[in-house]
Amino acid sequence: MTPGGVLLEARHVTQRFRLPNGQVLEALRDVSLAVREHEVVALVGPSGCGKSTLLRLLAGLARPAEGQLLYRGQPLDGVLGAAAMVFQSFALLPWLTVAENVAMGLETRGVNGAARRDAVARAINLVGLDGFEQAYPKELSGGMKQRVGFARALAVAPEILLMDEPFGALDPLTAENLRSQAVGLWRDPATGVNTMVVVTHSVEEAVFLAGRIVVFGSNPGHVREELVNQLPYPRKERSAQFEEMVDRLHAILTATLLPEPEPAPAAAPQRLPPFARVHVAEVTGLLDHLLTRPDGRGPVFELSEDLGVDYDRMSAVVRGAEQLGWVTTPGEIVQLTPAGREIMAMDDAARKDATRARLSRHPLFARILAMLKEGEGSVEDEEVLADLTIYFPFIPADSLFQTIVEWGRYAELFDHDADAARLTLLTS
Amino acid sequence: MALKPLRLPLALTPPPLRRLGLADVAMLCLLGGVIATVVAFAREFQAPFLQAVRIDLSPVALPKYTLFSLSRGVIALLISYLFALAFGWTAAKFPVAERLLLPMLDILQSIPVLGFLPGLVLGLMSLFPARNVGLELAAILMIFTAQAWNLAFSFYNSLKSLPEPLRDASRMSGWGSSRTFWRLELPAAAQGLVWNGMLSMAGGWFFLMVNEAFRLGERDYRLPGIGSYMSVALDRGNAQAVGLAIVAMVVMIVSVDQLLWRPLVVWVEKFRLDDTASAVVPSSWVLEFLRRARIPRGAAALQRRAYRTAVRATQPLQRPFRAARPLMVNAPRLAFGNPVARKLGVAALVAGLAVAAGLGVWHLYLLLRQLGLSDWAMLASSAGLTFVRVMGSVALATAWALPAGVVIGRSPRLAQLMQPVIQVVASFPAPMLFPLVIIALEVVGLRLGVGAVVLMVLSGQWYILFNVISAVAAIPEQLKEAVTVFRLSSLARWRSLYLPAAFPALATGWVTAAGGAWNGSIVAEYMQVGGALRTTRGLGSLISEATAHANFALLAGGITIMSLIVVGWNRLVWRPLASWAQTRFQVGQ
């Protein structure tokens, strides 16, 4: 199937959220995306890049702060009736049977009586759930639950199928099986589905499903790049072309996740770099693993696979280690530096000393230390949080603060008094 | 197989500590208005109401009185449910309403409503003189105020914590707000509503017994029911009737538990949102019977058919509604959708509230202005006395309920065994026993001044016990194993594990126990036992006496002081303590 005319479109969409602590986070900034008929679009990117937010906007479940959403050229008003959605958490009502869950969208579309029973039976049959009509969701396994999710979506014969990490909560075997079925459903003219938009975390999944892959960057969410994938369906995951496509997507994602440091113009005002929100043990774990590899190096996606960490988290850990000067990242390769080797050879006390020296030079920690000195050895949480909100409007300040406290405590730079809600300088 | 720890629903989850805002001030002012209104109503009451209730003490008459009491409780519960649904839904849907309604609920659930009872009874009697209607209304209103607030909070919390994907799924299915309410929001809230309803009912009996046996000096405001049966039996010294009344109350509580709550509790398991099945699956023989029996099933089919016929029959009538529907639905949407109209509406609402609050405070001021310096001194000293009694009763209740709760809670077997028993015992309305306890204490030589503390313990102790049991039962098994492995002495075990783990629940229990004790003070400090009136100095007796002697300024002063003390103490001491305990000692985050 070749993509046809534009079906669903987001034009210069910006979306903001207010966090419970009052901070306003910009989830998407000026995003434009056109979904055409007969195509499968995958939205990929690091967590917090707003890809799920965009999906909800496309579904008409939320209104953008700025910009416009159009369905067949008409502005979207309320929920998009031509679409159905599949959720990561399944979102089945536990008090309804499988059949009743599948029928959820039919009543309000005026399908009643025998027609409704037929539609439900057909949808249940499409996903291979015959015999489970009267079961309650809690009696089903995760994969079966998601089949119900698909059946509920298919029952209304939607033109567009929106999927938010539909296989994210399933075990790998079940996920693979359902993935191929999803492609089958899309190619099967009997389902009526002609277009799919899928949010996913997995590179292989995007390459397997989509004809067009949109890569998002974060802080705030924006479209970085689009990749057209013309591999013929059904796709073979072990084929050379498939692997090549995966590698291309890896490269794009790496450029997004581990950007090459830009040489800062000397005259430019100094900007505070955020500190990667990772744990101490994650960084030392990475260094440990690199030590076991020949030359202390490896591509980031291979590392993430070997260690069983998703690539998004992996690249955050790599960024953290890089900020401390323990690894460098030429392209997709993560390379242990001499300083990194050195620190792994030290005992605990010496390692803490070395980390302390590194952290005090990091501009963000330097700033907090300055605040502490100014406050004669102590500073209120509120003050630091307010500072973080100003410097990093796209990062939840609470979570960054927790990271800072963990590293500060580990390096014995400062301590945190949770009862009094303030940081105190440790003098050594 | 080892028993898994009981998963008791935390009945008393404190609402989160909000920052005080203008809305809270407005609500306090409005409370002043309510006090002024109640007193103004009471003032209207002129003719001494002499129609003493005639109670037949024969055992044959007892079922009738029991049914009277039961229907008052059930009617009030139904009204409470309606209120809770409307209130919770409005607060959860409209941010403006949320900002006003939450502070209101906050104050309503902490003020000692029994303080309003004397004024309210007099006020409603003035509306319906020489008939029981006023008394019945007062009784139902009182029970309602004991039942409604936690239900409303429960529903509001359920709506707020509904997972977003479920909401999205129902919206993608095109569900409108009424379908979403019946098929998503109400089922998701069902568990909380049933568990809280059970608690509310127990609280309601307390108030009902006070109401049915209410007397003010010479005036007799008793209503036919178990409460008045008991009080008449005591007046006449009829020991057999006293015993029978207690038995009837227990039978009523057990049957309501077995016939109504148990089946409901089992049935709402179906509406549990999280996947984790509860460790102990509750069972109910009544529900088993209903599920197995043929007749109910037939009845259900019949009912469905009847419903369909009714819908078909009323179709012609629906037409005008359907025609008006676009207007009914769209007009508010248009009004709310228009930013100018919305701002105007909000401004009008806020202005209205401000005016009402201002008027309330003004009227209260007019009343309180009549009080002299000596009156205020008396109010202050009485308040001090009652305050000491309340704190004493909380301390006493803690002294027995904390160790008992830990012992029961740490053994799953014991907890499972005791829980239903305690539930029934806790539902038994303490005021019914007050006269008996007072007589017993007098035999030992304790006067009402001290005895009142014991009565207040009876009013508040269960909240502490329940909360401690469920907190200790929720301690992860591995923590208990850890203290065993490290061979901690039993003293060290209590100090390092059980007491800290129980503390957040204990602090939450204190809030409610103190509230119960304040309510109890109204009854405990001013009591008719047998033929004689027994009183002791305190804020509770002051309120009752002021009403009896038609000293309305003093009545207003008493209620105001009591409300302010309770609301202020909650705000400044209990709630910060509870939320601090929550962050500091919460097990397993």
Is B183 within 8 Å of A81 when comparing Cβ atoms? no
Is there a single domain that holds both residue A334 and residue A395? no
The whole-number pLDDT of residue B504 equals 86
Low-confidence residues in chain B, pLDDT < 70: 1-23, 40-53, 129-131, 274-301, 303, 307, 311, 314-315, 317-337, 530, 588-589
Instruction: Identify whether A264 is part of a domain.
Output: no
The whole-number pLDDT of residue A390 equals 83
For the segment A267-283, the average pLDDT, to the nearest whole number, is 77
Is B174 within 8 Å of A56 when comparing Cβ atoms? no
pLDDT tops 50 at residue A266: no
Q: How confident is the model at residue A284 (pLDDT cuts 50, 70, 90)?
A: very high
Q: Show residues of chain B in contact with A90, CB under 8 Å.
A: 165
Q: What's the order of all strands across the beta sheet hosting A297-299?
A: A297-299, A333-336, A327-328
pLDDT tops 70 at residue A283: yes
Among the partner residues B166, B176, B187, nearest to A91 by beta-carbon distance: B166
State how far residue B364 is from chain A, nearest Cα, in angstroms: 38
Is A104 within 8 Å of B584 when comparing Cβ atoms? no
CA distances from A276 to A7, A215, A352, B510 (A): 39, 21, 19, 44
Asked if A84 has any chain B CB less than 8 Å from its own CB, the reply is yes
Is B176 within 8 Å of A108 when comparing Cβ atoms? yes
Between CA B449 and CA B471 the distance in angstroms is 34
CATH of residue B574: 1.10.3720.10
CATH of residue A206: 3.40.50.300
The DSSP string of A313-329 is: HHHHHHHHHHHTTSEE-
The DSSP string of B46-115 is: -S----------SGGGHHHHHHHHHHHHHHHHHHHHHHHHHHHHHHHH-HHHHHHHHHHHHHHHHS-GGG
**Among B168, B173, B175, B178, the residue to mutate for chain A (most A Cβ within 10 A):** B173
Residues with Cβ within 8 Å of residue A146, at least 6 apart in sequence: A86, A90, A166, A167, A169, A170, A174, A178
Asked if A17 has any chain B CB less than 8 Å from its own CB, the reply is no
CATH of residue A392: 1.10.10
Is there a single domain that holds both residue A300 and residue A408? no
Go through chain A and tell me how many residues it has: 428
Which segments of A258-361 does DSSP mark as H helices, in order? 280-291, 300-307, 311-323, 338-345, 348-361
Boundary residue ending a domain (B229, B251, B272): B272
Encoded tokens for B151: 């239900």
**Side-chain-side CA neighbours of residue A348 (13 Å):** 4
Is there a single domain that holds both residue A338 and residue A418? no
Residues with Cβ within 8 Å of residue B250, at least 6 apart in sequence: B424, B428
Is there a single domain that holds both residue A372 and residue A336? no
Is there a single domain that holds both residue A337 and residue A382? no
Is there a single domain that holds both residue A391 and residue A291? no
Boundary residue ending a domain (B230, B252, B272): B272
Overall domain count for chain B = 2
State how far residue A95 is from chain B, nearest Cα, in angstroms: 5
Instruction: Identify whether B349 is part of a domain.
Output: no
Is there a single domain that holds both residue B394 and residue B247? no
Q: Is B515:B332 a contact under the CB 8 Å cutoff?
A: no
Rounded to the nearest 10°, the torsion over CA B268, B272, B278, B280 is 0
The whole-number pLDDT of residue B589 equals 47
Domain range for B187: 61-112+142-272
CA distances from B41 to B122, B133, B542 (A): 7, 15, 19
Instruction: Identify whether A120 is part of a domain.
Output: yes
Boundary residue ending a domain (A323, A345, A367): A345
| Residue A279 φ/ψ, nearest 5 degrees | -90, 155
The more confidently predicted of residues B356 and A208 is A208
Is A88 within 8 Å of B272 when comparing Cβ atoms? no
Q: Show residues of chain B in contact with A107, CB under 8 Å.
A: 179
- The size of the A-B interface in CB pairs under 8 A is 63
Domain range for A400: 359-425
Is there a single domain that holds both residue A288 and residue A322? yes
* Contacting B residues, span 151-210, partner chain A, CB-CB under 8 Å: 163, 165-166, 168-176, 179, 183-184, 187
State how far residue B169 is from chain A, nearest Cα, in angstroms: 6
For the segment A15-29, the average pLDDT, to the nearest whole number, is 84
Residues with Cβ within 8 Å of residue B122, at least 6 apart in sequence: B41, B42, B45, B216, B547
The whole-number pLDDT of residue B275 equals 57
Overall domain count for chain A = 3
Q: Is B234:B529 a contact under the CB 8 Å cutoff?
A: yes
Radius of gyration of chain A (CA): 25
Secondary-structure breakdown of chain B: helix, strand, coil percentages, each rounded to the nearest 5: 80, 0, 20
Q: What angle separates helix B539-548 from helix B499-524, to the nearest 10 degrees?
A: 20
Instruction: Identify whether A146 is part of a domain.
Output: yes
Per-residue model confidence as pLDDT tens digits over A359-417: 988 888 988 999 998 888 889 998 899 888 888 877 888 889 999 999 999 999 999 98
Among the partner residues A91, A108, A138, nearest to B168 by beta-carbon distance: A91
pLDDT tops 60 at residue A328: yes
Q: Show residues of chain B in contact with A79, CB under 8 Å.
A: 171-172, 174
